[in-house]
Amino acid sequence: MRTEILIIIFATMLISASCTKNSEYKSLIGDWKLYNANFDTPTLSSAFIFKAKKSLESSNFNFQQDNHFQIIDFSNSGGSYTGIWDYSAKTKKLTFFYPDFKVDPEVFEVIKLSRNSLIIRHNIKSVGILEYKLRKIK
């Protein structure tokens, strides 16, 4: 009897953990508007930060179910970046891979993730901390 109870508890925990991961993963899929970019970067000039904020805050992120993503910049610089994304619910890390470029993946700490809100933070040792707030638009 005790063994059966332990098996039921273990199975419930396992199912609960996989549902949480799956729902967090699924909540990322869709279109997001980056509406606020914060920089804690003592090494960057205020002019550069101003331009970067303007560009970032005119960007939409599209996370697709097949783990591809696209970032579309609607500012005057108007760029589009594509790649592959990965999310770990266990470590709360969102990683962007850019196969078309010879750059290291960007790893973001997920501060908040809900159905309609995403806050991510990127710590770059040589630059500082970048924090992006996004809201789901579709």
Q: Residue 39 belongs to what domain range?
A: 2-136
Enclosing H/E stretch for 20 = helix 2-28
Q: How many domains does the chain have?
A: 1
The CATH number covering residue 116 comes to 2.40.128.280
Return the HEC string of 61-90.
EEECCCCEEEEEECCCCCCEEEEEEEEECC
Residue 60 sits at the vertex; the CA angle it makes with 18 and 107, to the nearest 5 degrees, is 50
Q: What is the pLDDT of residue 120?
A: 96
Whether the CA torsion 123, 52, 31, 68 is positive or negative: it is negative
Q: What is the pLDDT of residue 61?
A: 94
Q: What is the pLDDT of residue 44?
A: 86
pLDDT along the chain (138 residues), means of 10: 44 42 81 94 88 87 95 74 93 93 92 95 91 94
Q: Give the 3-state secondary structure of residue 29.
A: coil
